[in-house]
Chains A and B, each alone.
Chain A
Amino acid sequence: MARMISYEDKDTPIHKLSGFTKLVFFIVWCMASALTFDTRVLILMLVMGFAIYAVSGTKWNQVSTVFKAIMIFMVINLTCIFFFAPYQGCEIYGTRTEIAHLFGNYTLTKEQLFYEMNVFIKYFTVIPAVFIFLVTTNPSELAASLNGIGVPYSIAYSLEIALRYIPDVQDEFIRIRNAQEARGIEMSNKGKLLDRIKNTASIIFPLLFSSMERIEVVSNAMELRGFGKKPKRTWYSRRKLKAADFLVLAFIILFFAGTVALTIKNGSRFYNPFV
């Protein structure tokens, strides 16, 4: 059974990169995407993002649920932008090309559409990056990398454990949901939305309690095997950076520098096709 957004061991160029490289790439990539509204850069990132997604061998069912949730959120976001700032695009691009009058104060403009399209693409540059990062990065290797760049090992290891338990918690969630549904707590699409939200509590609490039990056992086991007694620790899964890692790191830093340079040259974060 494929689980949502959790690490799967595969043999692809992306999996072979060190966790450190992927972490740096992911952070810088998101910074670049946050910085620029330049449609040309965004489209370039979009194409690259999908190419990397294809190379990483990520399967659709690993990410589909989360993807759908993000889509819902995005539709809400784009609608809200229109309702709260219907002329944001006009302000940015300095022109106003009306398409149609809708109602009251709301007129649809080409500038607004173009602006919202940019927001839309921005989402799509980041989403594949998040997915690829989560499903291709071995949590223990990531923890080792983080510790390598100076993050205290207790924090790095906590992160590893959190990532490692994602699949376990998902399985437990399904088991508890089934048992609660048998008791009559409606979770399927038949129930009213409000009831379903209210009923989620009847899964969350048992899930919390059974997770707490687990935490106690694990923390005892960790202590018995000497976790936290020395100021440093070594890592079985640490990987040395290879040529490919340096290439990827160099690329992403140059890419980011290029985006910054372009923004400065244009004097604006936006690409303006209306002038």
Chain B
Amino acid sequence: MESDREPIIEFNNVSFKYRVQTEPTLKDINLRIYKGEKILIAGQSGSGKSTLAHCLNALIPCSYPGDMTGTITVDGKDPSKLGVFGMSQIVGTVLQDTDGQFIALTVAEDISFALENDCVPQDEIFNKIREVGGKLELLQVMRNSPGALSGGQKQRVSLGGVMVCDVKILLFDEPLANLDPATGKRTIALIDEIMKREDLTVVIIEHRLEDVLYRDVDRVILMDGGRIIADKTPDELLCTDLLPVNGIREPLYVAALKAAGAKLMPESHPMHMETLDIEPYRDTVKKWYHSMPAHEKPKTGETVLSVQNLNFSYDGSRQILKDVSFDIKKGEMVALVGKNGAGKSTLASLICGFHKPDSGTILLEGSDISPLSIKERGEKIGFCMQSPNQMISKPMIMEEVGLGLTVRGASPKEVYDKVCDILKICGLYPFRNWPVSALSFGQKKRVSIASILVMNPEILILDEPTAGQDYMHYTEIMEFLQEIRRKLPITIIMITHDMHLMLEYTDRTLVLTDGQLIKDATPYEVLTDSAVCDRAYLKTTSLYDLAVSCGIDDTGEFAARFIDFERSKGKEVSHG
């Protein structure tokens, strides 16, 4: 069937080596993508998936020079000859970081940017912008600043910015990073809608496989070590072990089916939970569920932080937080979730003392902390920003980690001893004499956390510790935090958008919506409660749907038992 169609993208024996590297990053790539297909490219970091994408928009070899062999044809043309600008008329690239890629001050100007650069007369620009704005339902916000829009609207604007050129191919580089789950889902639906209406070909690079598969995908290209190791339909691929073996997370319902011992078949359409024919697997799953030990709730210690009836507004009129109350127990790892603008960061700022609440009290180990200054609170409640680059101010690791002690007047000997201790705990001791600039992103993140831990705080608040990180770095950061919890008596509060993180690593979840705390429960209970998930822009886990379709009533318990099982398996692997 495919032989009578013309490929719109064709790679023939393509290898590519970056000039600065000794090994080729792409090895002998042969790939055909046909007009109208939707292709997902998956792979760990370093697998070569981004390099492959850069070959399509000609950033390789035009902006990142290197040696290329083989031939690439995109819409009948050679990207390296057409250059980045030429290719931008054929392939529209939507980058990962929507905030970062907004260039102009208003939505209209941002969408028109490519046309301006192409010297299109102003009248034509106006017409084109109206047309594209209409298609993407952006006409209401044309004069707004793109930065002030909701996550979903931002995605529409960046899509509009590339659609004005009448491109034939849309290339998405991790479109779901930084989006809350519900918005991610809507983005995938939008892409699907646009590609069908405009008759486009779509290439998506993403490691959040389950979220992309929310809508049909024609083929998944799995990459590892610079090679294509699988090129299959999602139904076929999900029935193999290729994904977990190559460091890609399977959809949770697929992992659960496999854990239960079900032998998946492509005919049962495992691509989406909704289309999956559960009949062949129902009994296996049920039997497995009843054979698993019941989930034990973790023992909780005494209350370390108590927030009572907190109210806050920035301007005196719009309430950001409304009567928020909760307790945090000693040693817990708690997730603070909710859509963008729900009040998560504000709540963290109030606890750290960056702002003063309008009313309500915050008790730390039973005593009111309102009289304490930011600095005094900082000794008990550490706050770690999203990017380590926002925190690190000293060139050397020792100096950076010791900074908090030094400014508090500790003696050089004391600083040295404490810094060495904390570096050992954080696995950074071998690098103690290195400059910070020589570290990887993950290591820098550890340095920024170590520089807080050195002050021996009771509580550590982390703002989106894994945002924008792929599965490998995500695991690295989260395992590091688990390690810290084992070694230190610390309580951790995390602001996050990542449902997997919440499910796998946290003991409890606080859900904020429009400034109100609407749920305070275990992650299993939250993510199997569809009413709460809808209100808070979360997404029920597919484990919930699986449990329902298998006729298991206690969906939360099902999810909990599966995660327990995964954890014990993970431990076996790491100890074996």
Q: Which residues of A contact B (CB under 8 A)?
A: 1, 7, 9, 138-140, 160-161, 164, 168, 172, 175-176, 178-186, 188, 190, 199, 201-203, 205-206, 209-210, 213-214, 217-218, 220-230, 232-238
Contacts and interface: CB of A to CB of B under 8 A. Distances in A.
B375 interface: yes
Contact of B375 (A7, A139, A184, A209): A184
Given A181-B375, A227-B103, 4 more contacts: A179-B384, A181-B378, A210-B389, A226-B84
Given A205-B393, A225-B88, A140 B109 contact: yes
B56 to A, nearest CB: 11
Contacts of B315: 1
- Among A140, A201, A228, which residue has the most Cβ atoms of chain B within 10 A? A140
A155 to B, nearest CB: 15
B495 interface: no
A181 B374 contact: yes
A223 to B, nearest CB: 6
Interface string B360-374: 000000000000011
Interface stretch (B71-79, B211-219, B333-341, B403-411): B403-411
A156 B394 CA distance: 35
B100 A202 contact: no
Interface size class of B (residues with CB under 8 A): 35 or more
A234 B375 contact: no
A240 to B, nearest CB: 10
A210 B129 CA distance: 32
Tell me what chain A mostly uses at the interface: helix, strand, loop, or mixed.
helix
Given A184-B407, A214-B100, A238-B122, A202 B393 contact: yes
A65 to B, nearest CB: 18
B246 to A, nearest CB: 28
Given A210-B389, A220-B95, A182 B374 contact: yes
A183 B88 contact: no
Interface string B120-156: 1110011001000000000000010001000000000
A3 to B, nearest CB: 12
Contacts of A9: 143
B108 A230 contact: no
A217 B389 contact: no
B105 A140 contact: yes
Contacts of A224: 57, 59, 84, 88, 93, 95
B403 A227 contact: no
Contacts of A7: 105
B116 A234 contact: yes
Given A186-B407, A190-B373, A236-B116, A179 B390 contact: yes
A230 B455 CA distance: 55
B314 interface: yes
Contacts of A206: 389-393
9 contacts: A182-B354, A182-B381, A182-B383, A184-B375, A184-B455, A206-B392, A210-B387, A233-B118, A234-B119
